[in-house]
Amino acid sequence: MSQPASPAHPPRDFSTLISDRAGAIDVSGIRRAFELGGQLDQPINLSIGQPDFPVPEAIKKATIEAIEKDRNGYTLTRGAPELLDSVAKRLRQDVGWDLSSDDGIMHMITSGTSGALLLAYLAVLNPGDEVIVPDPYFVVYPAIGEMVGAKTVYCETYPDFRMTAERIEGLITDRTRMVLINSPGNPTGVVLSNQELQEIIELCRKRGILLVSDEIYDAFTYEESLEDGRFSTPARFGQDMLLVRGFGKTYGCTGWRMGYAAGPSAVIRQMMKLQQYTFVCAPSMAQVGLAGAFEVDLGEHIRTYQSRRDRVVAAFGDVTDLVQPGGAFYAFVKVPARLGLSSEAFFMRAIDRNVIVIPGHVFSRRDTHFRLSYAAPDEQLDRGLAILRELMGG
């Protein structure tokens, strides 16, 4: 005998269960640009924030070998020994930090730089605490603040996009716990000088604030922005800060989600504890595969991107205001005031011409610029630049 049909239930509105935390965060404007671009036929995509070169062969082979040797289980939460050793050697050579000694600093491997930043926010910030970030900013910064209940305080850096101690100091309150800097910057490509960085770390030291330096683009610093032949970092002026770097942008393996953090042991130990209960560890085979990454020569790729940067500057230099990027692979281009357009309106005009960029309001409280990524093949970049210049009346 057949069972009677269950009575129909009206569909439940699960939106009533969504937390205030999740509801306060918008879907990334970068994702929206990708979705609109997906509707185009063979678009000229100048929006993607990842290198257009493949993972170097040596790193691929080392990772494949790690998989074949069954290095596929968990590593220690802190990281695989060989990658920890490699990072320690790199930081000793680059910034003079001795991570083998017991002088109050440690390092760990993280699930990308975004993973490191989330762990740092969780370790340091209580609800209501304040973190100062640059404006323009990378989209993750305010989103993580919402996740942990912290207040994001925006440091206005227009028109030169330089986050300086003078600009930061006026924003510090008794709730400020962290200052976050990003050089070379996303979306601007601006590189801060040694003097600017030294002044920032000294300010944070004086005011008892943790400085966090997001250096995901450290390897992509162009010749004119190097000082004494080296990338500028506040880590050369003290160890009382948190240094965050990664492998994804540098070696074309963004999907592997690999980063590292170094700084005060009191902070790193808490980040490690939190990693145990969140990410557990960074991807094991990728850790092993990247242990020799610092031996890979990236000179050709950096010269290619510097050449592309020069073409971007040449394309826009006489039609709009453009702060020359000193690193990374982005330009933050001002929409000419004479057009009377917001960055959103200009973005839609570019979409109509089959070109994808990112409107500036995604990265800023202003709506006056757009971000262009020149991590794109030369022919595609040149076609896109010609169309964007034409839209500006050039």
Q: Is the pLDDT of residue 1 over 60?
A: no
Q: Is the pLDDT of residue 18 over 70?
A: yes
| % of the chain at pLDDT higher than 70 | 97
Closest CA to 218 of 238, 201, 240, 233: 233
User: Where exactly are the structural domains of the chain?
Assistant: 16-55+298-391, 59-295
Q: What does the block give as tokens for 360? A: 């500036």
Closest CA to 276 of 110, 107, 73, 77: 77
Residues 141 and 35: their CA atoms lie apart, in Å, by: 22
What is the structure's pLDDT at 48? 87
pTM: 0.93
User: What is the Cα 242 distance to its own chain's centre?
Assistant: 15
- Residue 38's pLDDT band (cuts 50, 70, 90): confident
The topology under which CATH files domain 59-295 is Aspartate Aminotransferase; domain 2 (3.40.640)
Least trusted range by pLDDT, from 39-43, 83-87, 145-149, 379-383 = 39-43
Q: Could you read off the pLDDT of 352-375 as tens digits, one per residue? A: 999 999 999 999 999 999 999 999
Mean pLDDT confidence for 43-68 = 94
* DSSP per position, 211-254: EEEE-TTTT-B-GGG-BTTB---GGGG-SSSEEEEESHHHHT-G
Contacts of 132 (CB under 8 A, 6+ apart): 153, 154, 155, 168, 171, 172, 176, 178, 179, 180
Mean pLDDT confidence for 9-29 = 80
- Residue 16's pLDDT band (cuts 50, 70, 90): confident
Provide the 8-state DSSP code for 54: P
Q: Is the pLDDT of residue 337 over 80?
A: yes
Comparing 1 with 19, the larger pLDDT belongs to 19
What is the structure's pLDDT at 6? 59
User: What homologous superfamily is domain 16-55+298-391 in, according to CATH?
Assistant: Aspartate Aminotransferase, domain 1 (3.90.1150.10)
Mean pLDDT confidence for 34-47 = 82
Q: Could you read off the pLDDT of 81-103 as tens digits, one per residue? A: 999 999 999 999 999 999 987 67
Do you find a cis peptide bond into 10, omega within 30 degrees of 0? no
| % of the chain at pLDDT higher than 90 | 87
